[in-house]
């Protein structure tokens, strides 16, 4: 079936492997009979309206492979969410350029955008094939076992907590690390992969799937500190109170929202500072430190999960194959088969668009501030083995001679 | 010369390679004739007073090599600064255990501690050989060309800015990254290693060696944003105003100090939040984000400079050799010879202790908000090549048909 010109774009927050999906789709499509050109839109749907296209058919395979290995959206991204007029502007441009297939790489906001476009195309009888390619570090897409981008970000979070926990062993105190994740705690939960010994941190993990109560939080921190002389805590930026209001929002002075109505939680250290302040005020613990992992967790150069790299590439390739053979719009979804292998499907856009998957109860410990073995079994094959670490154990302690204890 | 028992300890903030120095010294000392035992004190000088020793002679070489490859102080660290009574307590313990040589791995505060101990030992005729092994991510030790720990932390900062700059290219706006460094800007300056293309960030770099003026800062940010449509900024946590007061302290409500009188600058996002707030208030730019790299930059698991790993090991080995042959106390110092090789010396403790080296004027651009080619030439061999990245250039732009510009 002749496809003419294909357009691809990237939406939402960048990931370490989103360019693998881009290059997978572009190279696969370029090899298909009937494909005339593969264009890339700069900065998502905004680039379509602006006719800001790159002809990716003219990029060498070698150059594209280097782009694939580079983190963050090489085409640029956007937070724009098209309304009806925006959609009409898009169709006008697509028509002018003779584009019949559109791949949009992104998360649930981007799949929602694609659903609107797909519906409008059908209503206005514009012949457009729409395929969503999944991507999000939040791991919150419905239908999918997990989402490309998550395993690499999870690896960053695990390596960060493995390191800061060693730091906290060296200079004991309380350490709070705030991790991205508005509604879903998957990324914060990955902090648990940093643990090996029973007393390794993070000792407490707070997820947006459970209500955050300051009183219980302070009690848990104090109990851990009393037991171990230190306490390492992973907190999701999306933790919220009884009313559903994020703790970060309750504490922030001004609230910024994007076009999708999402409140800005990242790019500020407010939550970490508020929590460390509360711990200092509510306990007698003196050394209390907080970090917000911020944009590093999705863009840090040189932290990629091998499984993620491979799967991100594959969902791009599958998108190009489905566009040619499936005869319908949809979202490429990723399904776990066995331990560990994956299968890919083309699922209806409606099943994915604008919805948010959160962590299953089976992944969250009864205490509400830890993960279960089931979560570790779920996440470990995605993240892969971490660099090995070794502690000096107490078995070679020297017998005290003076026996004084300061 | 018989050395009897040797004691080693780690002080100050952990680094990615401090355990290489520990294991270098331990293995070298263990192989020396006359060395009876090598003890490690837990948590620096505090572990000495508490007689909290591990017998490192009993650790297998294999186990020690795994410890060497692990970031952060395996023995634990401390911020304690001994006074006279503390010194006497230390000598009492050293005497009881028959310890004649003390290696202290640390920065300028730790070398200062060692100088006090060395002086007190001489005054009280306690026969103690004191050797300081250099370590600090701040790179601010006198006499040294650079300090073990700095190259790996600099590598983290460069990889972080390479990634966040790509992120900022994808979703343009202003990004502020706050980097550790109280008085010396070396670590913040390493952000410049992230740049390849002329328009790559960081576009502005603010160092504690130059006065920080909010008005000029806002003007520079606006000018960059007007030119590129985005602006990535690296700021040292230690930037200060006309009076020498750190901007972070001027803005913070409560100020925490350690035993060395140092104000707490890390472990809080206050500076980044204050700067992004000032940019939002002082310009019309909407998307302004800030991250504080915090403890990740000194402890992140899996980000080590190869040169750093090698040199950190070597200063440990040299310390054990000097203890045997030099006949005097001192600090192992690192000197650049050629491009790029290093030589090691034993320098007087007085030359290093308690002093702070800052960036030479030749490393700072005339504008005051960038580094020079001389700094890049200095830092590049330490950090090593970064993972390759590739951008999609404008050369394959598709000709507009409608020509509408939104």
A273 vs B270: CB contact, 8 Å cut-off? yes
Chain B residues inside the 8 Å CB shell of A14 = 166-167, 170-171
Residue from A110, A87, A90 nearest A21 by CA: A110
**Residue A316: its H or E element:** helix A306-325
Per the CB < 8 A criterion, the answer to whether A268 and B273 are in contact is yes
- Separation of alpha carbons B135 and B149, rounded Å: 6
Alpha helices, DSSP H, located in A73-193: 84-97, 108-123, 150-170, 186-189
- Separation of alpha carbons B250 and B87, rounded Å: 36
Residue in A67, A76, A291 closest to B295 by CB: A291
User: Domain A153-302+359-383 belongs to what topology?
Assistant: Rossmann fold (3.40.50)
**Residue A361: its H or E element:** none
Q: Give Cα A202 distance to the centre of its chain.
A: 20
Average pLDDT over residues A151-177: 97
A55 vs B291: CB contact, 8 Å cut-off? no
A405 vs B50: CB contact, 8 Å cut-off? yes
Sorted by sequence, the CB contacts under 8 Å of residue B219 that are 6+ apart come out as none
Q: Which of B138, B140, B329, B370 is catalytic?
A: B138
- pLDDT of res. A256: 59
3-state SS assignment for residue A91: helix
Angle at B254 between CA B248 and CA B256, to 5 degrees: 80
User: Domain B4-148+304-352 belongs to what topology?
Assistant: Rossmann fold (3.40.50)
Sorted by sequence, the CB contacts under 8 Å of residue B271 that are 6+ apart come out as B178, B235, B237, B239, B247, B248, B251, B265, B292
Per the CB < 8 A criterion, the answer to whether A369 and A208 are in contact is no
Does the structure show a pLDDT above 50 at A406?
A: no
- Separation of alpha carbons A270 and A251, rounded Å: 7
Q: Minimal Cα–Cα distance from B190 to chain A, Å?
A: 15
Find which of B17, B72, B196 to mutate to test the A interface (most A CBs within 10 Å of its CB).
Answer: B72
Give the relative orientation of helices A18-30 and A306-325 as an angle to the nearest 10 degrees: 40
- Separation of alpha carbons B162 and B23, rounded Å: 32
ipTM over 0.85: yes
Q: Minimal Cα–Cα distance from B337 to chain A, Å?
A: 30
What residue of A is the nearest CA neighbor of B159? A301
- pLDDT of res. B406: 46
Q: Minimal Cα–Cα distance from B354 to chain A, Å?
A: 21
Tokens of A222: 């104090």
Task: Name the CA radius of gyration of chain B, rounded.
Answer: 23
- Separation of alpha carbons B21 and A406, rounded Å: 28
Token match 């609230």: residue?
Answer: A255
Residue from A154, A152, A148 nearest A135 by CA: A148
* DSSP-assigned beta bridge partners for residue A39: A7, A55
A167 vs B388: CB contact, 8 Å cut-off? no
Chain B residues inside the 8 Å CB shell of A13 = 171
Residue from A110, A183, A147, A211 nearest A356 by CA: A183
DSSP per position, A4-17: EEEEEEE-SS--SS
Tokens of B263: 């104000």
- pLDDT of res. A15: 96
Long-range contacts of B391-396 (CB under 8 A, 24+ apart): B391/A67, B391/A70, B391/A74, B391/B169, B391/B197, B392/A40, B392/A54, B392/A56, B392/A59, B392/A67, B392/A74, B392/A75, B394/A54, B396/A54, B396/A55, B396/A56, B396/A58, B396/A59
Largest Cα separation within chain B, whole Å, is 89
- pLDDT of res. A262: 64
Residue from B161, B135, B159, B168 nearest B14 by CA: B135
**Residue B342: its H or E element:** strand B341-347
A301 vs B272: CB contact, 8 Å cut-off? no
Tokens of B405: 């510009």
Q: How far apart are the first and last CA of chain B?
A: 81
Catalytic residues of A: 138
Where does B151-302+359-383 sit in CATH, by number? 3.40.50.460
Q: Minimal Cα–Cα distance from B125 to chain A, Å?
A: 21
Residue in B59, B89, B291 closest to A292 by CB: B291
User: Per residue in B209-260, pLDDT tens?
Assistant: 999 999 999 999 999 999 999 999 999 999 999 988 888 877 655 455 666 6
Chain A residues inside the 8 Å CB shell of B233 = none
Hey, where are the domains in chain A?
Answer: 4-148+304-352, 153-302+359-383
- pLDDT of res. A267: 66
Q: Could you give the C-alpha distances from A335 to A130, A345, A358, in angstroms and in order?
A: 21, 8, 16
Sorted by sequence, the CB contacts under 8 Å of residue A85 that are 6+ apart come out as none
Q: Minimal Cα–Cα distance from B27 to chain A, Å?
A: 15
Does the structure show a pLDDT above 60 at A306?
A: yes
Residue in A71, A268, A303 closest to B290 by CB: A268
Question: With the CA atoms of A52, A57, A61 and A62 taken in that order, what torsion angle do they form, in degrees rounded to the nearest 10?
Answer: -40
- pLDDT of res. A263: 65
* DSSP-assigned beta bridge partners for residue A133: A105
Tokens of A113: 């955008």
Could you give the strand order of the β-sheet that contains A330-337, starting from the edge strand earlier in sequence?
A53-55, A35-41, A4-10, A99-106, A129-134, A330-337, A341-347
- Residue-wise burial string across B146-183, b where 16 or more C-beta atoms lie within 10 A, e elsewhere: bbbbbbbbbbbbbbbbbbbbbbbbbbbbbbbbbbbbbb
- pLDDT of res. B222: 98
**Taking the CB of residue A400, how many other CB atoms lie within 10 A of it?**
15
B273 vs A276: CB contact, 8 Å cut-off? no
Count of CB contacts below 8 A, A vs B? 290
Q: What is the mean pLDDT of chain A?
A: 93
Token match 């692990």: residue?
Answer: B70
Chain A residues inside the 8 Å CB shell of B91 = none
- pLDDT of res. B225: 98
A74 vs B391: CB contact, 8 Å cut-off? yes
Tokens of B354: 């308690």
Chain B residues inside the 8 Å CB shell of A76 = 169-172
Token match 């989103």: residue?
Answer: A18
- Separation of alpha carbons B270 and B8, rounded Å: 37
Average pLDDT over residues A168-174: 97
- pLDDT of res. B124: 87
Pairing of strands A330-337, A341-347: antiparallel
User: Per residue in A317-338, pLDDT tens?
Assistant: 999 999 999 999 999 999 999 9
Q: Minimal Cα–Cα distance from B328 to chain A, Å?
A: 28
User: Per residue in A2-40, pLDDT tens?
Assistant: 468 999 999 999 999 999 999 999 999 999 999 999 999
**Residue B379: its H or E element:** helix B373-383
DSSP per position, B344-360: EEEE-HHHHTT------
Residue in B72, B388, B392 closest to A170 by CB: B72
- pLDDT of res. A405: 52
Residue in A53, A167, A267 closest to B398 by CB: A53
Token match 């007007």: residue?
Answer: B226
The HSE-up count of residue B185 (CA atoms within 13 Å, CB side) is 28
Chain B residues inside the 8 Å CB shell of A294 = 289-292
Chain B residues inside the 8 Å CB shell of A162 = 301
A268 vs B273: CB contact, 8 Å cut-off? yes
State which residues of chain B have pLDDT below 50: 1-2, 254, 406
Tokens of B47: 């572990």
Average pLDDT over residues A72-101: 93
User: Per residue in A187-246, pLDDT tens?
Assistant: 999 999 999 999 999 999 999 999 999 999 999 999 999 999 999 999 999 999 998 888
B89 vs A406: CB contact, 8 Å cut-off? yes
B396 vs A51: CB contact, 8 Å cut-off? no
B389 vs A295: CB contact, 8 Å cut-off? no
Sorted by sequence, the CB contacts under 8 Å of residue A309 that are 6+ apart come out as A17, A20, A152
Angle at A115 between CA A110 and CA A119, to 5 degrees: 150
């Amino acid at each position: 079936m002749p496809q003419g010109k294909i357009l691809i774009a990237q939406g939402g927050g960048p990931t370490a492997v989103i360019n693998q999906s881009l290059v997978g789709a572009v190279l696969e499509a370029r090899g298909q009979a009937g494909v005339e050109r593969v264009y890339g839109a700069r900065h998502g749907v905004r680039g379509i309206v602006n006719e800001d296209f790159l002809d990716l058919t003219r990029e060498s395979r070698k150059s594209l492979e280097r782009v694939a290995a580079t983190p963050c959206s090489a085409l640029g991204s956007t937070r724009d969410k098209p309304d009806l007029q925006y959609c009409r502007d898009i169709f006008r441009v697509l028509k002018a350029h003779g584009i019949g297939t559109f791949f949009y790489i992104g998360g649930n906001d981007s799949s929602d955008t694609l659903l609107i476009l797909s519906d409008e195309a059908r209503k206005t009888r514009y012949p457009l094939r729409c395929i969503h390619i999944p991507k999000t570090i939040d791991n919150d897409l419905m239908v999918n076992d997990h989402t490309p981008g998550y395993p690499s970000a999870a690896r960053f979070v695990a390596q960060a907590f493995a390191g800061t926990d060693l730091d906290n062993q060296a200079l004991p105190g309380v350490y709070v690390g705030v991790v991205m994740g508005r509604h879903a705690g998957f990324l914060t939960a990955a902090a648990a992969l940093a643990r090996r010994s029973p007393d390794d941190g993070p000792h407490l993990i707070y997820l947006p799937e459970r209500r955050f109560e300051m009183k219980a939080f302070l009690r848990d921190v104090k109990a851990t500190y009393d037991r171990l002389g230190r306490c390492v805590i992973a907190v999701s930026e999306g933790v919220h109170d009884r009313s559903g209001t994020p703790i970060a929002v309750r504490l922030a002075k001004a609230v910024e929202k994007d076009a999708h109505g999402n409140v800005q939680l990242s790019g500020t250290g407010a939550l970490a500072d508020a929590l460390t302040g509360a711990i200092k005020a509510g306990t007698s613990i003196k050394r209390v430190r907080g970090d917000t992992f911020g944009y590093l967790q999705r863009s840090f150069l040189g932290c990629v999960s091998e499984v993620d790299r491979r799967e991100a590439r594959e969902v791009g390739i599958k998108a190009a194959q489905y566009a040619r053979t499936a005869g319908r719009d949809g979202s490429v979804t990723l399904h776990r088969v066995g331990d560990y292998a994956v299968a890919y499907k083309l699922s209806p856009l409606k099943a994915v668009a604008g919805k948010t998957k959160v962590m299953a109860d089976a992944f969250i410990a009864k205490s509400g501030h830890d993960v279960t073995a089931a979560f570790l079994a779920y996440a470990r094959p995605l993240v892969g083995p971490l660099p090995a670490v070794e502690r000096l154990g107490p078995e070679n302690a020297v017998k005290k001679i003076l026996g004084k204890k300061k």
